[in-house]
């Protein structure tokens, strides 16, 4: 009888050990496969820890670069500005007030590819333009915004998401414009000093609450409507004269293709491609807040 008891105890102990090892084995298998969340979590934290750090490091690096770039921007902008009045300036772009000039303007962007192509064309002919951007698109294309500023172009405000300002209350007008200016400031450390009212619509409310000069145009290329390179080029060039402000939209591929020809043609005709600020400064006209301008003479 005693023998049986010892045997049964021994068998039970062996079975106990086996079951303990079996459960442990399954747990470690599940752990390896990540089935057990509570056990796998420390690993996840460990893995995401350094990754997050890297990201944080990268963005800090970016911010630093952005800060440096901003310093450069200010330097460049200052140089470009002074070059308008000082022909001896060593700035890359020199504006001669005695020669004809036009301001190309691009609305509704920025666009990661089409705006970039337009910037390439401007750079090639040592020209600059004004980009009236949407806050909502600027948020998604920060690098393009930085490049626009870096290369001596001007940025204007075209509302956050293209609401028609004449349909908004005074508070809403202020909100739309301030929100966009804040976004540009965050990205490029400059505040747009100009507004292009959406749809070219202006009323007393817009004049009183926009608190910046309101820039319309004297040549409408109708690029958004035709989406035809030849037609866009013809509309831009057929009646062009000194002081004109040309309207285009940098969100369309056909506009970017047409802009390449327009820039080349205007350059060969002796026109300087300038920003809105450069245009009015060269023509001795001071831009006033809340006033509407269609060209350098109106
Ligand atoms: Zn627009």
Identify the pLDDT of residue 93: 87
Does any domain span residue 298? no
In the chain, the number of structural domains is 2
Residue finishing a domain among 45, 72, 99:
72
Residue 210's domain is classified under what CATH number?
3.20.20.370
Residue 232 sits in the same domain as residue 157: yes
Residue finishing a domain among 48, 72, 96:
72
**What is the end-to-end Cα distance of the chain in Å, rounded?**
119
The reply to whether 249 belongs to the active site is: yes
The predicted model gives 15-26 an average pLDDT of: 45
Query: Which of 1-15, 102-116, 217-231 has the least mean pLDDT?
Result: 1-15
The predicted model gives 35-64 an average pLDDT of: 32
Q: Please provide residue 157's backbone torsions phi and psi, each rounded to the nearest 5 degrees.
A: -95, 130
C-alpha count within 13 angstroms, C-beta hemisphere, residue 271 = 27
For ligand 1, a single-atom ion, the residues with CB < 5 A are: 107-108
Which of 111, 249, 250, 277 is an active site residue? Answer: 249
Residue 126 sits in the same domain as residue 253: yes
User: What domain range is 8 assigned to?
Assistant: 2-72
Residue 147 sits in the same domain as residue 243: yes
The predicted model gives 31-51 an average pLDDT of: 30
Residue 54 sits in the same domain as residue 98: no
Residue 161 sits in the same domain as residue 281: yes
Q: How far is the CA of 21 from the centre of ligand 1 (A)?
A: 71
Above 90 in pLDDT, residue 272?
A: yes
CA distance 79 to 95: 11
C-alpha count within 13 angstroms, C-beta hemisphere, residue 238 = 9
Measuring CA to CA, which residue among 52, 104, 59 is closest to residue 256? 104
Cβ contact 164:138 at 8 Å: no
Residue finishing a domain among 42, 72, 102:
72
Does any domain span residue 185? yes
Above 50 in pLDDT, residue 63?
A: no
Residue 59 sits in the same domain as residue 122: no
């Amino acid at each position: 009888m005693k023998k049986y008891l010892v045997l049964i105890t021994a068998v039970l102990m062996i079975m106990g050990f086996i079951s303990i090892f079996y459960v442990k084995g399954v747990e470690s298998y599940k752990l390896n496969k990540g089935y057990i969340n509570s056990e796998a979590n420390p690993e996840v934290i460990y893995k995401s820890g350094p990754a997050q750090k890297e990201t944080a490091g990268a963005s800090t690096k970016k911010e630093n670069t952005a800060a440096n770039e901003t310093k450069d921007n200010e330097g460049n902008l200052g140089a470009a500005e002074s070059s308008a009045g000082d022909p001896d300036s060593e700035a890359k772009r020199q504006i001669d007030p005695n020669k004809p000039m036009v301001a190309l303007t691009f609305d509704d962007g920025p666009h990661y590819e089409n705006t970039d192509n337009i910037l390439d064309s401007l750079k090639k002919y040592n020209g600059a333009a004004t980009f009236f951007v949407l806050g909502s698109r600027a948020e998604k294309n920060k690098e393009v915004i930085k490049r626009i500023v870096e290369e001596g172009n001007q940025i204007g405000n075209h509302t956050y998401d293209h609401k028609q300002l004449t349909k908004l209350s005074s508070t809403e007008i202020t909100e739309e414009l301030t929100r966009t200016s804040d976004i540009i400031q965050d990205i490029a450390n400059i505040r747009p000093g100009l507004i292009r009212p959406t749809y070219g619509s202006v009323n007393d409310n817009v004049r009183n609450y926009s608190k910046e000069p309101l820039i319309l145009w004297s040549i409408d290329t109708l690029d958004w409507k035709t989406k035809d390179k030849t037609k866009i080029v013809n509309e831009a060039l057929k009646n062009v004269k000194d002081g004109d402000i040309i309207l285009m939209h940098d969100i369309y591929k056909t506009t970017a293709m047409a802009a390449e020809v327009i820039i080349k043609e205007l350059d060969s005709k002796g026109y300087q491609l300038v920003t809105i600020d450069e245009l009015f400064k060269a023509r001795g006209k001071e831009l006033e807040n809340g006033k509407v301008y269609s060209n350098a003479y109106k």
